[in-house]
């Protein structure tokens, strides 16, 4: 009887200790930001997709690599911070197989200073053709939220000069997403089209806790912007080189049957979009800088143009890395 009572007391003690351990679990304040200094952000996309129309199928592989120079100022007394981000190099390659087989590629760097985009020799290759030179300055509040952005106006006012054929509707859509009002956080943190934007929680969180945010998926060929909810989880906090690194996983899904026109392609409408994405981000907790963000996305779409039904599906792999630049 004494052994039984001792066993019950021991079990009760262990439960109480475990409960105290759980309730005392450390919480972390996660805020986006930069330590003052200069950085290089490299954004990479790989898209493998297939398309079908009128019984014909083709496969498309697209790779894009964008280099961005980041200049983060010291934080002001009120906690705000000015961050300037400019694209210094934009390289892309598009490969399409039968029945329309061709390879199109370019590698473009800033040709002149003062944010002046220049046309690439040869046929028009879209917005990426003049992207090198785009520079946007964003002011962030003390919580890492953007409160003001500028630079997109200057760039898009010059676009018709260097590429008169670029569709006006598509240019306006890109311009909107580069400003604070669009909810997409400028070239600095979410210029890459196919990633999940990691929005930080409003309150401190412990490992294993989940929070949600509103997000959007944007792709011109899928009809533009689709609103969605994003689920984020702090899955791990580890120490690397003496610094605490938060590992945040995020999930996003878009399921839409709302008809949407495609910018720049008269008569084409997207009638169905299914997208799911998983993201893993590693963030320096002290500075708030996301060191690396990797996204895996799967999509299916259907559309129509002049009575012709079109279908497409594929996978998108996106990686964004940020590293300090040598001073």
* Interval 114-125: pLDDT, tens: 444 444 444 444
1 within a domain of the structure (yes/no): no
pLDDT of residue 229: 86
Per the model's pLDDT, the better-predicted residue between 157 and 238 turns out to be 238
Residue 108 has pLDDT above 70, yes or no: yes
Determine the longest span between alpha carbons in the chain, in angstroms.
92
Range 185-192 average pLDDT: 39
Range 85-90 average pLDDT: 84
pLDDT of residue 193: 46
pLDDT of residue 118: 44
Q: Give pTM, 2 decimals.
A: 0.78
Residue 209 has pLDDT above 60, yes or no: yes
pLDDT of residue 114: 41
The fraction of the chain above a pLDDT of 90, given in percent, is 23
- Cα–Cα dist 137/129, whole Å: 21
- Cα–Cα dist 124/126, whole Å: 6
pLDDT band of residue 194 (cuts 50, 70, 90) is low
Long-range contacts of 244-247 (CB under 8 A, 24+ apart): 244/28, 244/284, 244/285, 244/286, 245/282, 245/283, 245/284, 245/285, 245/291, 246/28, 246/30, 246/282, 246/283, 246/285, 247/280, 247/281, 247/282
Per the model's pLDDT, the better-predicted residue between 167 and 92 turns out to be 92
pLDDT band of residue 238 (cuts 50, 70, 90) is very high
Per the model's pLDDT, the better-predicted residue between 177 and 237 turns out to be 237
pLDDT of residue 268: 83
Per the model's pLDDT, the better-predicted residue between 89 and 169 turns out to be 89
CB 170 within 8 A of CB 263: yes
307 within a domain of the structure (yes/no): yes
302 closest CA partner among 293, 312, 294? 312
CB 198 within 8 A of CB 175: no
pLDDT of residue 99: 66
pLDDT band of residue 259 (cuts 50, 70, 90) is confident
pLDDT of residue 210: 97
13 within a domain of the structure (yes/no): no
Residue 251 has pLDDT above 90, yes or no: yes
Residue 198 has pLDDT above 90, yes or no: no
* Mean per-residue pLDDT of the chain: 77
Residue range(s) defining the domain that contains residue 131: 27-324
Number of domains present in the structure of the chain: 1
Per the model's pLDDT, the better-predicted residue between 290 and 104 turns out to be 290
16-25, 75-84, 172-181, 302-311: least confident range: 16-25
4 within a domain of the structure (yes/no): no
pLDDT of residue 196: 72
57 within a domain of the structure (yes/no): yes
pLDDT of residue 38: 95
pLDDT of residue 219: 63
11 within a domain of the structure (yes/no): no
78-87, 187-196, 243-252, 312-321: least confident range: 187-196
Range 80-93 average pLDDT: 85
107 within a domain of the structure (yes/no): yes
- Pairing type for strands 27-28 and 205-206 reads antiparallel
pLDDT of residue 201: 93
191 within a domain of the structure (yes/no): yes
* CATH code (residue 111): 2.30.230
């Amino acid at each position: 009887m004494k052994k039984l009572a001792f066993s019950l007391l021991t079990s009760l003690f262990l439960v109480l200790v475990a409960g105290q351990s759980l309730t005392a679990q450390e919480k972390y304040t996660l805020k986006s930001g930069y330590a003052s200094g200069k950085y290089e952000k490299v954004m990479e996309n790989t898209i493998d997709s297939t398309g079908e129309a009128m019984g014909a199928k083709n496969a498309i592989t697209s790779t894009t690599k964008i280099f961005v120079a980041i200049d983060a100022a010291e934080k002001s007394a009120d906690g705000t911070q000015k961050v300037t981000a400019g694209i210094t190099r934009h390289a892309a390659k598009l490969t399409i197989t039968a029945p329309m087989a061709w390879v199109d590629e370019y590698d473009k760097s800033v040709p002149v200073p003062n944010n002046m985009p220049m046309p690439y020799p040869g046929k028009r290759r879209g917005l990426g053709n003049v992207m090198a030179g785009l520079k946007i300055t964003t002011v962030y509040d003390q919580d890492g939220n953007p409160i003001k952005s500028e630079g997109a106006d200057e760039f898009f006012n010059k676009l018709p000069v260097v590429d008169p054929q670029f569709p006006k509707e598509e240019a306006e859509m890109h311009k909107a997403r580069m400003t604070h009002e669009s909810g997409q956080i400028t070239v600095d943190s979410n210029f890459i089209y196919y990633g999940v934007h990691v929005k930080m929680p409003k309150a401190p969180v412990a490992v294993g806790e989940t929070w949600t945010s509103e997000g959007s998926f944007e792709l011109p060929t899928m009809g533009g912007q689709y609103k969605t909810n994003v689920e984020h989880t702090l899955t791990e906090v580890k120490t690397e080189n003496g610094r605490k690194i938060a590992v945040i996983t995020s999930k996003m899904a878009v399921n839409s049957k709302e008809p949407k026109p495609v910018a720049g392609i008269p008569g084409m409408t997207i009638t169905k979009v299914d997208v799911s994405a998983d993201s893993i981000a590693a963030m320096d907790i002290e500075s708030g800088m996301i060191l690396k963000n990797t996204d895996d996305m799967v999509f299916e779409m259907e559309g129509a143009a002049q009575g012709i039904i079109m279908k497409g599906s594929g996978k998108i792999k996106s990686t964004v890395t940020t590293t300090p630049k040598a001073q």
